Amino acid sequence: MMCSLVARTPRFASMLRLSMLSVSLSLLGVVQSGAAEDEAPAAMIEAHGYSFYGDLSYEPDFEHLRYVNPDAPKGGAISISAQGTFDSMNPFTRRGRAGAFSSSIYESLLETSEPFGGGLVPADAYGESYGLLAHSLEYPETKERVIFHMRPEARFSDGTPLTAHDVVFSHNLFLEQGLPSYAQAVSARVIDAEALDDHTVKFTFADGISRRSLIDQVGSTPVFSQAWYEETGARLDESRMEISPGSGPYVLHGLEVNRRITYRRNPDYWGADLPINRGRHNFDEIRVEYFADGAAAFEAFKTGEYTFRSENNSRQWATGYDFPAINRGHVVRTELPTGFAPTPTGFVFNLERSFLQDRRVRDAISLAWNFEWTNETLQYGLFQQRVSFTQGTRFQPDGPPEGLELELLQSLGDLVPEEILTEPARMPHSSNPARLVDRSNVRRASALLQEAGWEVDDAGVLRNAEGERMSIEIPVSTAGSATMDSIIDAFTQNLQGLGIDARFQRIDPAQHTDRRRNRDYDMIFDQYAAFMDTGTGLHQRYGSEAADDVFNPAGLRSPLVDAVIDLSLDAPDPETRDAALMALDRVLRWEHFIIPAWYNDVVWVAYWDIFERPEETPPYSTGELDFWWFNSERLDELRAVGALR
């Protein structure tokens, strides 16, 4: 959403101008807004949904989402697990540790994601959103403003009307009391929010910025009850257990701190009959059971204490699913496809540490990571090496840049190192899978460290010219798995072999959260957000403006990354956007602020055989909490044989 940091090439500028004249209106109604007599009237777009380039795959009169069972029965319960603790039900503040799904009871003008997370809505179309609290929206082709027309029947769970005044209040509340990085980014881009009447709200955007993620942003902001906040005096930036009423299909039914949270389907939910909701929100109850660690959680699943499990522990998946309920067919164990790029997880460097600002040091430390041995020995060969931030998508670059991607990079001039323009995209090193210590990588790492001014003394300790020892501490949450402990232990052993004072420290989840928020670490096993489209969220996760934010755990500050993000935001057509995203992946890999770990191209799940789901899983959601449904007859059968209580 920021202006580009560099001048455009003539061809790029001409493409930008042409795009504004060629936005496709084939799926959208067009009306003419008023204009001065000496000006050409500005075309206005009216629609039931939104995508940046105007391509919507659902018609205005769609009856339900294509992948749901519109006749799915309502009823029953599904339960999942969470690890660690919680001491707040307010997820919109840095204070406290929020309970699972504490934002799920709120809705927004546009439906963009499932209330309980896990997927997009719609889950079969990327980059599209459709009206929820709003039934339609209108905006000029140039997207400098948007007007949402809201559904008069919308209600909060306490029965009070939800109006445009609540929308404006919520927007301003996030700016005044929300996360500072969010407030700073949004206030610079959204300059006005106005309730034109009780059911019409208008947002005006700043001049001279990209039009990306503006309508999306205001359309996806949760809407709170203004009356509740004014009556209670509650603040958005405080940690608290009390919650404001939401307007969503579920309400908070009860909680026991650090033990469980229960949500119940609201029988008076105002939007139950909307086409976008048909076949969804089928369970009467969604329950989250809390456990101290992964081992306790798995044992509880085996006895039916909760009924759905998404597995992320390879050792468990390979060896743990051999218990009576599995063998008797009472528990289903399967793999579900996913169309998402895998989450970019790995060992993140804290770039605020001076010694880690040297690329040679980061390269040397990376060489101590042996993915091949780790995968074969500790993870049963179930994973693949992650290479890219857009792994497996059309945005993943491999060879040197060419075509439009090369032209975009060249337009940035001296910001782009020559090696990025002429060499293949950075790839992770390979290691010997037969042994933890790969001697050739040790030699390469030692040479890099020596070149960077670090020498191993007679005692085998790595020191710089001032005699300072290189120390690396990696904090690890005690709520994690034993497998993760083993993986990080193996990595630190190899670091110690280079003469580095390397260790990992197991700390409780609350401490881990606090240290992560305050970037109190040398390295941490963490994640960034994969991307399959552009948006201002890229600046908020990878950009210099968010270098101090929790979403940017490395503290990455790169003018090159900033400039490429701007190219993607200003892309006049999908082809230019795709080329810019490929370039972004390339430069992020070149910056090398994270050692890529592993990924899985399927989702491992296990569940007690009391649920049903559509025959085909959409690419952008597994849907267990959104469009699966309950089989009461099967529950009776399992209860009859004593499998479930």
Q: Is the pLDDT of residue 375 over 90?
A: yes
Instruction: Name residue 502's beta-bridge partners.
Output: 472
Would you say residue 144 lies in a domain?
Answer: no
Q: Which residue has the higher pLDDT, 415 or 481?
A: 415
Across 417-445, average pLDDT = 97
Same domain for 534 and 465? yes
CA–CA separation, 575 vs 306, rounded Å? Answer: 46
- Cβ atoms of 521 and 349 closer than 8 Å: no
* Three-state SS at 174: helix
Would you say residue 2 lies in a domain?
Answer: no
Same domain for 536 and 526? yes
Q: Is the pLDDT of residue 6 over 80?
A: no
In which order are the strands placed within the sheet that holds 110-111?
49-50, 129-131, 110-111
Q: Which residue has the higher pLDDT, 43 or 115?
A: 115
Same domain for 327 and 403? no
pTM reported for the whole predicted model: 0.84
By percentage, how much of the chain surpasses pLDDT 90? 87
Would you say residue 34 lies in a domain?
Answer: no
Same domain for 586 and 635? no
State which H helix or E strand residue 444 sits in: helix 439-451
Same domain for 326 and 364? no
Q: For the chain, how big is the Rg over CA atoms in Å?
A: 26
Would you say residue 6 lies in a domain?
Answer: no
Taking each helix axis as running N to C, give the angle between helix 180-187 and helix 164-177, from 0 to 180 degrees, rounded to the nearest 10: 120
Rounded to the nearest 5°, which phi and psi values hold at 182?
A: -65, -50
CA–CA separation, 340 vs 325, rounded Å? Answer: 31
- Cβ atoms of 195 and 164 closer than 8 Å: yes
- Cβ atoms of 348 and 553 closer than 8 Å: yes
Using pLDDT thresholds of 50, 70 and 90, give the confidence band for residue 138.
very high
Q: Is the pLDDT of residue 23 over 50?
A: no
* Three-state SS at 440: helix
Rounded to the nearest 5°, which phi and psi values hold at 81?
A: -115, 160
pLDDT of residue 570: 92
Q: What is the mean pLDDT of the chain?
A: 92
pLDDT of residue 41: 55
CA–CA separation, 429 vs 552, rounded Å? Answer: 24
How far apart, in Å, do the first and last CA atoms of the chain sit? 53
Would you say residue 534 lies in a domain?
Answer: yes
Same domain for 533 and 398? yes
34: number of CA atoms within 13 Å, CB side?
Answer: 0
Would you say residue 40 lies in a domain?
Answer: no
Q: Which residues contact 322 (CB under 8 A, 6 or more apart)?
A: none
pLDDT of residue 124: 97
Would you say residue 480 lies in a domain?
Answer: yes
pLDDT of residue 225: 98
Domain housing 416: 345-599
By percentage, how much of the chain surpasses pLDDT 70? 93
Same domain for 610 and 465? no
Across 209-232, average pLDDT = 96
Same domain for 336 and 457? no
Q: Which pairs with CB-CB distance under 8 Å and at least 24 residues apart come from 391-395?
A: 391/341, 391/342, 391/344, 391/530, 391/599, 392/341, 392/342, 392/601, 393/341, 393/532, 394/578, 395/341, 395/531, 395/532, 395/578, 395/581, 395/582, 395/584, 395/585
397 closest CA partner among 427, 419, 417, 359? 427
The total number of structural domains in the chain stands at 2
406 closest CA partner among 250, 550, 587, 177? 587
386: domain CATH number?
A: 3.10.105.10
Q: Which residue has the higher pLDDT, 30 or 401?
A: 401
**Each residue's pLDDT tens digit, 533-572:** 998 889 989 999 889 888 899 999 999 999 999 999 999 9
Across 303-331, average pLDDT = 96
Using pLDDT thresholds of 50, 70 and 90, give the confidence band for residue 12.
very low
Same domain for 631 and 483? no
Same domain for 458 and 486? yes
pLDDT of residue 81: 97
Across 220-228, average pLDDT = 98
CA–CA separation, 578 vs 76, rounded Å? Answer: 44
229 closest CA partner among 173, 187, 176? 173
CA–CA separation, 193 vs 190, rounded Å? Answer: 8
- Cβ atoms of 446 and 456 closer than 8 Å: yes
Tokens of 107: 């809705």
Same domain for 452 and 326? no
pLDDT of residue 17: 29
CA–CA separation, 578 vs 566, rounded Å? Answer: 13
* Distance, C-alpha 222 to centroid of its chain: 17
Would you say residue 577 lies in a domain?
Answer: yes
Across 159-185, average pLDDT = 94
Rounded to the nearest 5°, which phi and psi values hold at 322?
A: -135, 75
Across 204-209, average pLDDT = 95
**Each residue's pLDDT tens digit, 500-543:** 999 999 999 889 999 999 999 999 999 999 999 998 889 989 99
Same domain for 611 and 594? no
pLDDT of residue 43: 85
